[in-house]
Amino acid sequence: MKLFALPEPLISCEVGMLSDHELLGLIDRKIISGVDVPPDPFTSESPIQPSSIDLHIGGIYLPGASAEQAGGENHPLDDYLLRPGGTVLIRSSEMLSLLDDVGGLAFPPAHFAVKALLVTNAGHVDPEYKGPLKFTVINMGHEPQPLKVHDRVGTLILFKTSQQPRKGWTTRRNGEPGRSPNTRDLRYLAPDFADMTARARDIAREEVAAANTAFQRLEQRSNRLIAITGILSSLFIAAIIAFFGFYSPVSKLETKVDTMREQFVETKRLDGALETLRSQQQDSIGQRIRIDRLEERTAVLEKKLRPSK
């Protein structure tokens, strides 16, 4: 039963990109399967766009996981938190069984670039390819990014070739279709891009070693500085002791000089007082002599004035 009434032939263009109604025809014919076609396939939310089909996550595989481990070949994950530098393999939920004159190009969605998610091995799809598409997704940002089944992981544009190839993709491989990621694929990838975690660990070790070396050098310099400081402190203390040892006798000498100066001043004062006293004594002696002479003269006069008997 056809989903939509489509014009005949199935692909009307001779060469070029297939349009939305041609893509719907391929879906109707199961050439493209696993597409969740909405009731109105011509809206902005539809996986069928004017000339492309959105691709979605069908399974998440972890590098290094064994076949029976979670994220391994037989147990893909439905959701996963992709940490910075982390890598995963993605299988598309859409399956292709392309005609021998239809090829395509797969591109990562724009919102992956905004989240710093790098999608590798998205590229051309040869005519007659059968199987899912595989992508490697790497978180190139600095924040973990969640991935889960049914998230959009790419966009597929299909073309009609100008001529039919002599041998298509499946014919060249003896009818063997494309496959999902297997254990061998998962062994090729490191859990993180370019082994970033190991490299970061090595860089951290180098930085720690460099820091230890710098600390040891600083410690050696500090020890030398402490030793020099100790020597200088000892010299400083010795200088202080010598200074005060020298200053103490000088101080005593100055005290003696001050005492002698005071004694000299006092001596001069006493000399002055003695000189004054001497002057006063001399004046007193002079007066006494004058008095004695006056008394002698008085006595002589008295004798002369007495009448003789």
Structure tokens that stand for 227 in this block? 């030793």
Structure tokens that stand for 199 in this block? 């490299």
Residue 309 in domain: no
Higher pLDDT, 2 or 146: 146
Shared domain for 53 and 184, answered yes or no, is yes
Question: In total, how many domains does the chain have?
Answer: 3
Question: Residue 154: which pLDDT band, with cuts at 50, 70 and 90?
Answer: very high
Could you count the other beta carbons within 10 Å of the beta carbon of residue 294?
A: 10
Residue 111 in domain: yes
Residue 2 in domain: no
Residue 4 in domain: no
Q: Quote the CA–CA distance of 21 and 10 in Å, as a whole number.
A: 9
Shared domain for 267 and 183, answered yes or no, is no
Q: What is the pLDDT of residues 23-54, one digit of tens each?
A: 999 999 999 999 999 999 999 999 999 999 99
Query: Cβ distance 197 to 85 under 8 Å?
Result: yes
Q: What is the pLDDT of residues 90-107, one digit of tens each?
A: 999 999 999 999 999 999
pLDDT at 7 (0 to 100): 45
pTM of the full structure: 0.60
Q: What is the pLDDT of residues 266-306, one digit of tens each?
A: 777 877 777 787 777 777 777 777 777 777 877 777 777 76
Q: Quote the CA–CA distance of 179 and 49 in Å, as a whole number.
A: 26
Shared domain for 211 and 184, answered yes or no, is no
Shared domain for 70 and 134, answered yes or no, is yes
Q: Quote the CA–CA distance of 30 and 79 in Å, as a whole number.
A: 27
Peptide bond into 9 cis (omega under 30): yes
Shared domain for 22 and 114, answered yes or no, is yes
Q: Which amino acid is at 205?
A: R
Residue that is last in its domain, among 168, 191, 214: 191
Shared domain for 105 and 127, answered yes or no, is yes
Shared domain for 31 and 64, answered yes or no, is yes
Shared domain for 93 and 229, answered yes or no, is no
Residue 41 in domain: yes
Shared domain for 164 and 225, answered yes or no, is no
Instruction: Count Cβ atoms within 10 A of the Cβ of residue 97 and give its class: 0-12 exposed, 13-18 middle, 19 or more buried.
Output: middle
Shared domain for 162 and 61, answered yes or no, is yes
Residue 105 in domain: yes
Q: What is the pLDDT of residues 226-266, one digit of tens each?
A: 777 767 767 777 666 665 555 555 566 667 667 777 777 77
Residue that is last in its domain, among 143, 161, 191: 191
Could you count the other beta carbons within 10 Å of the beta carbon of residue 73?
A: 20
Highest mean pLDDT among 176-180, 195-199, 293-297 belongs to 176-180
CATH number at residue 21: 2.70.40.10
Shared domain for 41 and 137, answered yes or no, is yes
Q: Quote the CA–CA distance of 118 and 161 in Å, as a whole number.
A: 29
Structure tokens that stand for 265 in this block? 């001043």
pLDDT at 5 (0 to 100): 46
Q: Quote the CA–CA distance of 56 and 72 in Å, as a whole number.
A: 19
Per the document, the length of the chain is 309
Residue 308 in domain: no
- In DSSP terms, 124 is beta-bridged to 105
Over 80: is that where the pLDDT of 153 sits?
A: yes
Q: How confident is the prediction for the chain on average, in pLDDT?
A: 82
- Structural domain boundaries, residue 77: 16-191
Shared domain for 100 and 152, answered yes or no, is yes
